[in-house]
């Protein structure tokens, strides 16, 4: 696999995972020449790169590590295990690969993360939503929070606003 950094074609596979019920294989690779790591996705024999289209229409390679990092930040000190974070990332990837092959909007990824994270932990959901949606005014955030509070334990309501970016 051609290295995206130095363009050499020698690498080793560091880690493999499948998603979309085994139809997609994600391989973490390390270039043997420059030692940098990159990720490829293979779908029934073919390999492809998925790009994320950001709000300003720029495109960057999809990176699972960024999804996981966002989840970890949202789940900081919450009762969500590392395995659960990986499972949420798997579900997000499944939802992406069911619909998109070459490009996916950052908005779709964000909404998918919120959907799957919300099913696991409400406080983490609010943290992620407040960062991701970058609420322009307090009213929007309060609306989102009250929506979630409706299905949250009373004790958790008290801790909702303790999170600082």
| Closest distance to Zn ion from the beta carbon of 14 (Å) | 13
Q: Which residues contact 75 (CB under 8 A, 6 or more apart)?
A: 84, 85, 117, 121, 124
Q: How many residues bind Zn ion (CB under 5 A)?
A: 7
Q: Which is nearer to Zn ion, 1 or 107 (CB)?
A: 1
**Among 3, 50, 113, 117, contact with Zn ion (rule: CB under 5 A):** 3
Distance, CA of 122 to CA of 101 (rounded, Å): 30
Q: Which is nearer to Zn ion, 4 or 118 (CB)?
A: 4
Q: Which is nearer to Zn ion, 1 or 141 (CB)?
A: 1
* β-bridge mates for residue 105, sequence order: 53
Return the structure tokens found at 131: 């960062």
6-65 residues near Zn ion, rule: CB under 5 A: 6, 8, 31, 33-34
- Cα separations (Å) of 88 from 5, 23, 116, 140, 165? 29, 18, 6, 25, 22
Q: Which is nearer to Zn ion, 47 or 98 (CB)?
A: 47
Strands, sheet with 59-61, edge to edge from the N-terminal-most edge strand: 59-61, 51-53, 103-105
Q: Which is nearer to Zn ion, 38 or 62 (CB)?
A: 38
Q: Which residues contact 101 (CB under 8 A, 6 or more apart)?
A: 43, 48, 50
| Closest distance to Zn ion from the beta carbon of 61 (Å) | 14
| Closest distance to Zn ion from the beta carbon of 17 (Å) | 22
**Among 2, 5, 9, 63, contact with Zn ion (rule: CB under 5 A):** 5
Site residues, Zn ion (CB under 5 A) = 3, 5-6, 8, 31, 33-34
């Amino acid at each position: 696999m051609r290295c995206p950094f130095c363009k050499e074609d020698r690498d080793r596979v560091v880690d493999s995972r499948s998603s979309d019920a085994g139809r997609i294989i994600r391989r973490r690779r390390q270039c043997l020449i420059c030692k940098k790591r990159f990720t490829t996705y293979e779908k029934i024999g073919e390999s492809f790169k998925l790009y994320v289209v950001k709000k300003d229409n720029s495109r960057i390679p999809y990176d699972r590590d960024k999804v996981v990092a966002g989840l970890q930040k949202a789940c900081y000190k919450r009762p969500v295990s590392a395995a659960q974070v990986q499972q949420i990332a798997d579900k997000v990837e499944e939802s992406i690969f069911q619909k998109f092959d070459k490009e996916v909007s950052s908005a779709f990824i964000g909404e998918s993360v919120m959907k799957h994270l919300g099913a696991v932990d409400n406080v983490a959901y609010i943290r992620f939503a407040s960062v991701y949606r970058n609420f322009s005014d307090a009213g929007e955030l309060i609306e989102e929070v009250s929506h979630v509070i409706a299905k949250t334990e009373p004790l958790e309501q008290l801790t909702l606003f303790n999170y600082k970016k």
